[in-house]
Amino acid sequence: MKAEGRNTGIASRNPLRFVRATIGLISTQMTLNMILNDGIETMDRFVTHVSTVPANLGQTVGLHLREKVAPSVAANSKPHVVLFVHGGFSPSNVAYDLDYKDDYSFMRVLARAGHDVFAMTHTAYGSSPKPMMDDPCNVDIASQHHLIPHILKEKTAPRYPFKLVSSRTEHDEVETVVKFIMALRKVERISMIGWSTGTPRAGGFAAMHPDKVDKLVLYGPAPYFPSDTPPNPFPEPGAPMILQSWDMLMEKRWQNDCRSEGQIEHPEIREIMWQALMKEDGLGAHWTADGRGIMRAPNRMNYGWRANIGSIKAPTLCLLGEFDNYDARFKTWGGLKMDNRAYIKVGCASHFMQYERVRFVLHKATLEWLATGTVEGQRFAELQSDKDGKLQPLIQ
């Protein structure tokens, strides 16, 4: 059971309003401090960043950063630091720190093992800034049908007629957060974990800053983007915001890839996850006629993943569910070139393996990789797991 959170200032009462009103004061402001019965401390901060997103270019903003750590680890002079980087729709608080049962928080699993664990949230997600995203007219026209007629009377052109964020702006944000963590914990390198579109975000940073990354874990890796160069013109014309409904996420993207009996161990996890997403989004929770809510996300200008992946130097573990758009995502494994790398095809898993029964495979492999750079003692391996997590050589 959670202990009551300690009020550490105005930001804990309304963190987003606080960011907008007093951003210059909050780079190290702790907005939440809770100690649960396992001794793990949770802290939420906003890291000061000068935005390179075209919609709020040059503005000082606050990027949300969560930390989970045992007090004894935080007291170490140089703890082993891990940073989670989220994907294209789910902010880090839901992707990596879902508050359910004992092991649905990936962050808590690592913190219990003695790591100092951080998770950042990019612009356009969660409590980080959402420029141009409060106006429903700025929803991409292909998604506007979700809002008609209760929010919009009819389809309309965006007031801000451009896509919102890019691979460059995301890498800039990762760099700001990494520098903040390194200064805070007085370390020279950190390890990174990315899921889905978080893999080119974390992997791209690792490629560009090999001196700052110790080890890398990529799971459910994003397929290669169509381009390795920025769009021209930049920003790319379009709309800044896209939407994802319950049906798209839970049925088309997840349930349709549940092909093994008992794959979702606790069926209620879908509703718990959705409610957490709606809490993080805020406004989107009120944008549907049926009260179910909808996820808002940035319309992104992605590029460079194919070019960056071959430049990663850090020892890298890659995991991919067997039901997770396998052929397209598997190509990223072939792009890695470092000697110290390992691949696991996770049996009975979809793109959402951290919420499925085989999440223990992800947790166990990650813990060993962060500790030793090996999987079952091997510095290079191509493996597959069965439904019980037993590993054997990969058979394609």
**What digits encode the pLDDT tens for the residues 46-86?**
999 999 999 999 999 999 999 999 999 988 778 999 999 99
Measured distance CA(330)–CA(327) in Å, rounded? 5
| H-run or E-run covering 298 | strand 295-298
Closest CA to 259 of 326, 196, 350, 328: 350
Go through the domains of the chain in sequence order and give each one's CATH number.
10-133+167-231+304-393 (3.40.50.1820)
Contact (CB, 8 A) for 319 and 365: yes
Please tell me the number of Cα atoms within 13 Å of 26 on its side-chain side.
Answer: 31
Question: What is the DSSP-derived secondary structure letter of residue 209?
Answer: -
At residue 27 the predicted structure's pLDDT band, cuts being 50, 70 and 90, is very low
Q: Which residues pair with 385 in a beta bridge?
A: 346, 391
User: pLDDT by residue (tens digit) across 189-224?
Assistant: 999 999 999 999 999 999 999 999 999 999 999 999
Of the candidate ranges 9-13, 87-91, 360-364, the one whose mean pLDDT is the lowest: 9-13
- The pLDDT, as a whole number, for residue 76 is 79
Residue-wise DSSP of 113-163: TT-EEEEE--TTSTTS--TT-S-GGGB-GGGGGGGTTTT-SS----SS-B-
Token pair recorded at residue 42: 């949770």
- The dihedral sign for the CA sequence 66, 70, 74, 77: negative
Measured distance CA(321)–CA(352) in Å, rounded? 8
Is the pTM above the cut of 0.85? yes
Contact (CB, 8 A) for 374 and 368: yes
- Most distant CA atoms of the chain, gap in Å: 60
Measured distance CA(89)–CA(299) in Å, rounded? 10
At residue 165 the predicted structure's pLDDT band, cuts being 50, 70 and 90, is very high
